[in-house]
Amino acid sequence: MNDCQTFHGVTAAIFERVKDIGRRERGTAYDPPDAVSGTATTITPVGSIVLTFDLDARAETLTYCIASRPWIMPANAIFDGIANTIDLCRGGAAQVVTSRVPSARELATGAVAAASGVQSNWSGTIQYSPASYVEPANFLELRQAVQGATTAGQQIRPRGTGHSWNQAISTSGCSINTIRMSPGNRAACVCTGKPPGERPCGDRQSCNDVVWGDIITFNGQSCQLVTVPPGINQGDLAALAQAKGCPLPTQGPAPDITLSGFVANGCHGTGWTQPTIAELVYGLELMGPGGQTFFFSMEQVPPELASLGIAPPDMMNIVRANLGALGVLTKIVFALPRTPFNLRVNNDFVVLTDVLDPSDPGKLEALVTGNDYVEIFWFPYNNFRMEWLKPVAVGPTTDTLWLMRLNRTNQPVTVGEVIIDAWNELFGELAAIGGPIGNVVEMSNDLVPIVSKFALDTIRGKTLLDSLAVFPPADAFLYQRAYFRNFLDLEFTIPMTGSQGFRDVVDAFYMLVNRMEAWRTGQSGSFQYPVNLNVHLRFIKNSQALMSPAYQPAGSPTHTCYIEYLSYADGRLTDEYLAFSQDFYSAAHGLGWKKYRGLPHWGKYLPSVPGIFPYVHELLAPPSGPTPSRLAQFLSVRNIIDPGGTVFTNSYLESIFTGTP
């Protein structure tokens, strides 16, 4: 690869954000600090990376050249990392960003439409063309945008970093991205704890403050309340919480995802006794059509909704996982247990049947109930032999699983943790190398076993030192710092009650494996490896949020397994993924994971599942179930905030709410 790369469509504002992220997250020094050309030096555990940069603001091109780099750090990994950061600063892979908030007149006359361009989700698998795209930097700008769009009669869909794989964020109206409503956004105003010299705030409502509140008892635990803006991401929240002595008890591994979407979709980490992230929410504020706000908490219901006669805690369970259908989240109040802990991490590489044994599901039960946090990864067909130049899988039951166990400890963080953390950071950057592999898998699908073995060996290398150290929770949970983007993901829940639950999970896993085997051996499909990245399992307790995929009534003994399969999205691989899902979920093959009557994860590739809308509708609003159903309760709130869903419900959400594709 050439040691220079030019990135197009980079404005001066985007470059400022790129530099800001570089300084904050990687300690990059820019010399001169405020110039459009110069050098950028980043010190990594394996040596310094020195780049020259040159921004042509008129042509909107930014050129980076590598002046020096550690030999172990490939040039394409560095450029992929830069590309990821630039995309993030644009808000997804958007081509043109309207960073200025358009006026109502501009929205009404469509004056900003031409500048809005095509928007996409984070992975680039969903595209949509909104009439306007807005990234408000604070509450006041958000209200201006919402009022403008409502006056213009535009549909509004809120979004965050777009880390989801379906049309929930799509709209032909106004797409509002709250990513800049974040304390990490230096261009916005942070009113308290400001470094000296930052610009003053004229109005508290223009703040993106993190506000520490009272200490309360919540779910039987002493908890610290903290109010955060919607654009804060998992990494920043985890760092703040840990520094305050109330680490997040569970979270996902990707630091960049914004909490607005993580809460709205009822997202999860892992941990047998842990809830979803939405359960940690004590209160939230939503902005409805016209810009009015609704503040919900465990103690109060907004006056406009009092007529429903729903108690505050029950109301919170209606609104905490809201799919972005109840307005734009402007504030989230978390209640974080004041229980400091550290984590001992064990990564094991074991034969698949040591964990997922069809004749003994008790192995899985002992593992999951015997550790605080468990994750299981299968990189398909990583055991193979070469026949001539072709890898031939030996068979899934002989494959190696990657098994991650995290256990709480009071032992102090070890010195080695700093080194291991830097090591993880480095491997996180190297994860970007995975991107080009998608093209290889598309061109030569039979190489999947080699690719899987490569992934497994890379992780072995990455985790080599982990068991020697005790980590702070944020560093252990956020084990994957960077991701390549070109992949698809579909995730289902499997409700688990007693030992039968473990039998169901093992069954569900082999149900998938059996269809994969049918494709690999040519009995079905025309493609060997439609599932070509990994299969991933996590285990949590459950959720009382009515729209949560992990929903169970309070006090239920039922836990939840989240199981997902991921594949590269390049070229025909998406079509093959879809064809495989049609086959896997067909009645002829036992309805796939629909058999277990769990909901899919709202952020994943739902439309890849045939008949998904009637299926989820039946679970949310069973014809003979309790009255009113979970869905009916949710829609009763929606219909007060946004009557008929005319402003915030797009056609994709309408399909979920009606069961009609």
**What are 1's two structure tokens?**
């690869």
Report the residue from 45, 124, 253, 625 that binds ligand FAD according to the rule CB under 6 A: 253
For position 180 contacting ligand FAD by CB under 6 A, the verdict is: no
For position 168 contacting ligand FAD by CB under 6 A, the verdict is: yes
Radius of gyration of the chain (CA): 24
For position 252 contacting ligand FAD by CB under 6 A, the verdict is: yes
Report the residue from 130, 229, 289, 324 that binds ligand FAD according to the rule CB under 6 A: 324
As measured in angstroms, the least distance from the Cβ of 276 to ligand FAD is 8
Report the residue from 136, 158, 473, 645 that binds ligand FAD according to the rule CB under 6 A: 158
As measured in angstroms, the least distance from the Cβ of 323 to ligand FAD is 5
What is the rounded (10 degree) CA torsion for 323, 327, 331, 334? -30
Which one of 164-172, 360-368, 539-547, 625-633 is the stretch in contact with ligand FAD (CB under 6 A)? 164-172
Which one of 36-44, 51-59, 162-170, 365-373 is the stretch in contact with ligand FAD (CB under 6 A)? 162-170
Sites for ligand FAD among residues 207-236 (CB under 6 A): 230
* Counts for the chain of helices (H) and strands (E), in that order: 18, 24
Sites for ligand FAD among residues 372-411 (CB under 6 A): none
User: Which residue matches tokens 């009645």?
Assistant: 587
Answer for the pair 157, 175: CB distance below 8 angstroms, yes or no.
Answer: yes
CA distance 217 to 222: 5
Which one of 151-159, 390-398, 501-509, 605-613 is the stretch in contact with ligand FAD (CB under 6 A)? 151-159
As measured in angstroms, the least distance from the Cβ of 70 to ligand FAD is 26
Nearer to ligand FAD, 168 or 246 (CB): 168
User: Which residue matches tokens 């009822």?
Assistant: 266
For position 328 contacting ligand FAD by CB under 6 A, the verdict is: yes
The dihedral region occupied by 645, where left means phi > 0, alpha psi between -120 and 50, and beta the remainder, is: left
Answer for the pair 203, 160: CB distance below 8 angstroms, yes or no.
Answer: no
For position 250 contacting ligand FAD by CB under 6 A, the verdict is: no
Report the residue from 69, 90, 157, 515 that binds ligand FAD according to the rule CB under 6 A: 157
In 338-484, the DSSP E strands lie at 342-351, 373-378, 384-387, 390-393, 400-409, 470-471
CA distance 355 to 338: 34
CA distance 340 to 337: 8
C-alpha closest to that of 631 among 602, 658, 604, 598: 658
As measured in angstroms, the least distance from the Cβ of 53 to ligand FAD is 27
CA distance 587 to 594: 10
For position 438 contacting ligand FAD by CB under 6 A, the verdict is: no
For position 51 contacting ligand FAD by CB under 6 A, the verdict is: no
For position 160 contacting ligand FAD by CB under 6 A, the verdict is: yes
Report the residue from 163, 186, 481, 630 that binds ligand FAD according to the rule CB under 6 A: 163
Answer for the pair 84, 77: CB distance below 8 angstroms, yes or no.
Answer: no
For position 600 contacting ligand FAD by CB under 6 A, the verdict is: no
Answer for the pair 470, 584: CB distance below 8 angstroms, yes or no.
Answer: no
For position 594 contacting ligand FAD by CB under 6 A, the verdict is: no
Report the residue from 99, 119, 178, 633 that binds ligand FAD according to the rule CB under 6 A: 178
For position 539 contacting ligand FAD by CB under 6 A, the verdict is: no
CA distance 77 to 431: 8
Report the residue from 268, 453, 462, 515 that binds ligand FAD according to the rule CB under 6 A: 268
For position 337 contacting ligand FAD by CB under 6 A, the verdict is: no
Residues touching ligand FAD, count (CB under 6 A): 33
For position 547 contacting ligand FAD by CB under 6 A, the verdict is: no
The sheet carrying 221-228 orders its strands as 211-218, 221-228, 328-337, 281-287, 293-297
Which one of 102-110, 251-259, 495-503, 583-591 is the stretch in contact with ligand FAD (CB under 6 A)? 251-259
Q: Phi/psi of residue 14, each to 5°?
A: -65, -40
As measured in angstroms, the least distance from the Cβ of 428 to ligand FAD is 12
For position 598 contacting ligand FAD by CB under 6 A, the verdict is: no
In 461-502, the DSSP E strands lie at 470-471, 487-496
Counting every residue, how long is the chain? Answer: 661
H helix intervals, 521-642: 573-584, 612-620, 630-641
* Binding residues vs ligand FAD (CB under 6 A): 122, 157-164, 168-169, 178, 230, 252-254, 257-258, 260-262, 264-265, 267-269, 323-324, 328-329, 483, 601, 603
